[in-house]
Structure 1
Amino acid sequence: MPRSTNPATKKTALLIAKQWPEPASTAAGRRTLDILDLLNEAGYRIEMGSPAQPTPFQATTGYGEHQIAVNDSRFDDWVRALDPSLVIYDRFMMEEQFGWRVRAQCPQAVTVLDTSDFHSLREARHQALKSGQPVNLFNASAEREIAAMARCDLILMISQVEVDLLKTHFGLPGWQLHYLPFLIREFPQPTATPGFAERRHLAMIGGFKHAPNRDAVAWLAEAIWPALRPLLPGVECHVYGAYADHAMQRFHNPKSGLRIIGRTDDALATLSQYRLNLAPLRFGAGQKGKILDGWLSGTPTITTPVGAESMAPADAWGYPLTDDPGPYADIAARIYQSEPQWQAVREAGTQALVEGFSYAQHAQAFVERLNAIAADLHAHRNRNIWGRILQRTEHRAEEFMSRWIEAKNSRPDAS
């Protein structure tokens, strides 16, 4: 993607990122770059700041990149000189750390929280899975995340399901929420990828730093694969993902046909070799990059109700969704062996891409939403009484804690 030049007359958009984007490692990293490219094309000069350490796998973007630090007042001078008209917080923790500083130094900047997925919903589902208790949405993590949302001018959501949840369960107003899915500029032609007879074996893909992916691998190895392998003699399942640690490598068992491969630099090229893409998710939130990659590579994807959520309606997959390992294995085996059923599931994925993930459909609406807020920022913020209250109360406590930590660290005897 060509980057625009950076004349001083351009509006500046600043992304404060929890991690430097790694588009080959995580779907979240790819989405972040899609948003920045969109804003670049809309006329913004793009700058990124992150307190995370650089990694060898982060993207080379051509945008401004700055190492920033938490609990450090030098950020104040830096962001004031940068003078962004738009600030995007990548996940609520970055709003907690830097939001009060941005508001003090750049009060006219439109602030956006990009949740990537609804973090506290994912955590609540994880806890419910581990405890066997009902999902508790109203947890301590949700208190923090909802407070960060309320303090921002716009909340960017990747899941329409989560937009509706925020409205109905947490009372957030629709005018503060904006749905922006994964954005696909060009849809693949079905004939551009290998067909049924040219593909073999099963694949699973997803970064191992993501808790839902770790659980999915364990569930695959312990419950699904023992039921699926006898149905597909000689067929293997290859698991790809960045940051495969020892806990994940223990599932590597070539004798059983289950192999933990690790990182792949090109997810689409890798998946296009396989007949099926497995996404056996038992918890999570947001949209799933692993399913999107399956569709983009023309690889039929077998998932669960949680995996399907926010991607396509339950009746649009070409098979019944289930989170029972036995039926899941039966469905995968049947589609693996039947070219007509395989083709039907493949076509369903292509249809879901076209209907739900078009760049042309969603990109301009996002830019127009930002422009409308900026055009009457005072009136927009006047409607947000709870956000203003939280800025005066809860966030002041975070400010004082940050200042105390900075003062403590600056003492000569500080270790």
Structure 2
Amino acid sequence: MNLTSAKQHIFIIGSVWVEPKSSAAGSRMLQLIELFLTQGWEITFGTTSKKNANSLDLIELGVKEVSLKLNDESFDHAICKLSPSIVVFDRFMTEEQFGWRVMEQCPGALRILDTEDLHCLRKTRHEALKKGIVFSEELLLSSEIAKREIAAMYRCDFSLIISTYELQLLEQTFNLDTDLMYHLPFLYPKIDQEKEQLWKSFKEREHFISIGNFLHAPNTDATIQLKKHIWPQIRAKLPEAELHIYGAYPTQQVLEFNNEKEGFYVHGFIEDANEVIEKSRILLAPLRFGAGIKGKLTDAMYNGTPSVTTTIGTEGMHEELEWNGFVEDDPCQFVEKTIQLYSEQDIWERAQQNGVKIINSLYDKQKLDKAFVSHITHIQSNLKAFRKKNFIGSLFQHHTLQSTKYMSKWIEEKQRNQSIGGT
């Protein structure tokens, strides 16, 4: 059978409903869905979470939607009926919840874990920052969440890794076989001359922007850094400048940062992030911890907006290419470089062109899509042999999932008995 032309049925098990306007994770999932749709593949998306006003209507895209229940045999019936050729787990938690059921009911389906970012890396860095200690690989290796996340990777046929830094970390620190990983960053159409000509010029742009979902702890922390330490210094040198903060689900603390006299404006959720990014002269992202790659920074490049960020911000994002702005971890240097970038047109324009090179070299949707589809079909054509090489994965399937399975069965039976007793 020619798998390249074969009709595929993708079942995506989401941690939440897709919210591309709320977070980079939502945009990433939409990119994957669009990639599969362009192949003419059938897609079903299911999750245990509830929809809200920011959830995308996937049915309009031609994607089937199903609501899932935890610890419930209805999932078994649903997946048997769907009979997918590929199952995509959205983050390792969904693999823990449903992986054993997928393996039992559809053993022939290709199992892909979309990590989004390494949760263990982000959370361990956050804990180190809160405790005032230096992050180290020893801390990461002793993390419980790292053990869970790596185990989920072994149980899948391969995992999508978004950052080159994380790819290296998994190989060198966790000794994960490279066959179990596939590097797939964000996917953007190439920036051509026609798109560049539509961008506002240096003189047509004004003010600063910072953007990010506030359910994501690194974004809240970055906003606090801007408010307390960075923006007051910038504002003192650029008294007419304004900083506009956007992002879904702002906390009360962040909302109270809004201060017109300081030129610090908190707007919350924005319907079209590209519109406000494209009007701004510079994007600020003083991230002190995190993981993966940052959608706000690639979005800035795609809209011709230079940025000032930290080492954490640029990690795994640009290889040896020059950044589209400045990278500074020291707050005083961060301020100095921000003022320079905002004030000097020639430096700003060079930074903008650096962003074009990064997007076109590393995030080329057409090239990345083609390679990923080829990788999927290659593994499917040799799936039995491929799985035989992953003996550690089979061990995790046998031992770890047996305990998960029987705990889930126990909860399922308990819920059934409670339901009978209630009636």
Give the structure-2-normalised TM-score: 0.93
> Residue in 2 aligned with 1:68?
68
1:397 counterpart residue number: 403
Aligned equivalent of 2:147, options 143, 150, 155: 143
CA contact (8 A) 1:227 1:325 kept: no
1:154 aligns with 2:140: no
Distance 2:381 2:281 in 1: 50
> Within the alignment, does 1:270 sit opposite 2:276 as a pair?
yes
Give 1:247's aligned residue: 253
Q: Partner amino acid for 2:133?
A: Q
Match of 2:389 in 1: 383
SS at match of 1:388: helix
Q: Which moved more, 1:363-372 or 1:305-314?
A: 305-314
**Which one-letter code corresponds to 2:415 in the other structure?**
N
Within 2, Cα distance between the matches of 1:255 and 1:57? 31
CA–CA distance in structure 2, aligned partners of residues 331 and 389 of structure 1:
51
1:179 equivalent to 2:183? Answer yes
Give 1:69 deviation, angstroms: 0.9
Whole-Å separation in 2 of the counterparts to 1:369 and 1:348: 30
The alignment yields a C-alpha RMSD, in angstroms, of 1.5
* Residue 320 of structure 1: how far off its partner (Å): 4.8
Q: Spell out, residue by residue over 1:268-318, the C-alpha distance to the aligned partner (whole angstroms, 9 max, x if none).
A: 111111111111111111111100111111111111111011221476126
DSSP 3-state at the match of 2:50? coil
**Contact 2:10–2:86 (CA<8 Å) still a contact in 1?**
yes
Q: SS of the residue aligned with 1:19?
A: coil
Q: Secondary structure at the match of 1:197?
A: coil
Out of 82-91 and 126-135, give the one that drifted further: 126-135
Work out whether residues 301 and 324 of structure 2, in 8 Å CA contact, stay in contact via their aligned partners in 1: no
Match of residue 3 from structure 2: none
What are the residue-to-residue correspondences of 1:12-411 with 2, within 5 Å? 12-61=9-58, 62-135=62-135, 136-138=139-141, 139-187=143-191, 189-313=195-319, 316-317=322-323, 320-411=326-417
* Structure 1: 4+ residue segments shifted above 3 A: 412-415
Matched to 1:183, the amino acid is: L
1:13-45 per-residue CA deviation (whole Å, 9 max, x = no partner) reads 100000111111111111111112112222321
| Letter matched to residue 263 of structure 1 | F
Task: Label 1:394 to 1:373 Cα distance change in 2 as closer, same or farther (>3 A).
Answer: same
- SS of 2:182's equivalent? strand
The separation in 1 between residues aligned to 2:82 and 2:10, in whole angstroms, is 10
Contact 1:126 1:284 survives alignment (8 Å): yes
Deviation track 1:332-375 (CA, whole Å, cap 9, x = no partner) reads: 11111111111111111111111110012211111111111111
Structure 2 residue identity aligned to 1:115: T
TM superposition shift of 1:247: 2.4
**What is the CA–CA distance in structure 1 between the aligned matches of 2:308 and 2:66, rounded to whole Å?**
40
Aligned residues: 407
Q: Distance in 2 between matches of 1:161 and 1:363?
A: 21
| Structure 2 counterparts to residues 1-16 of structure 1, below 5 A | 10-16=7-13
Q: Secondary structure at the match of 1:70?
A: coil
Q: Give CA-to-partner distance per residue, 1:205-258, whole Å, 9 cap, x none.
A: 111111111111011111111221111112110000011121221222222111
Q: Cα–Cα, structure 1 residues 200 and 319, in superposed 2: closer, same or farther, change >3 Å?
A: closer
* CA distance in structure 2 between the partners assigned to 1:18 and 1:128 by the alignment: 26
The 1-side partners of 2:284 and 2:259 are apart by: 17
Distance 1:254 1:414, change over 3 A: farther
Find the residue that maps to 2:173 and give its secondary structure: helix
Contact 1:314-1:321 at 8 Å conserved across structures: no
| Structure 1: segments with no counterpart, 5+ residues | 1-8
TM-aligned CA distance change 1:315 to 1:46, over 3 Å: closer
1:308, 1:314 within 8 Å by CA — same for their partners in 2? no
* Structure 2 unpaired stretches of 5+: 1-5
CA distance in 2, matches of 1:94, 1:335: 43
Alpha-carbon distance in structure 1 between the residues aligned to 2:277 and 2:342: 14
Give secondary structure in 2 for the equivalent of 1:408.
Answer: helix
How far apart, in 1, do the equivalents of 2:422 and 2:343 lie?
A: 65
Q: Structure 1 residues 95 and 408, CA, compared in 2 at 3 Å: closer, same or farther?
A: same
Which segment is superposed worse, 213-222 or 252-261? 252-261
Distance 1:86 1:77 in 2: 17
TM-score by length of 1: 0.95
1:11, distance to aligned residue in structure 2 (A)? 2.1
8 Å contact kept, 1:408–1:414: no
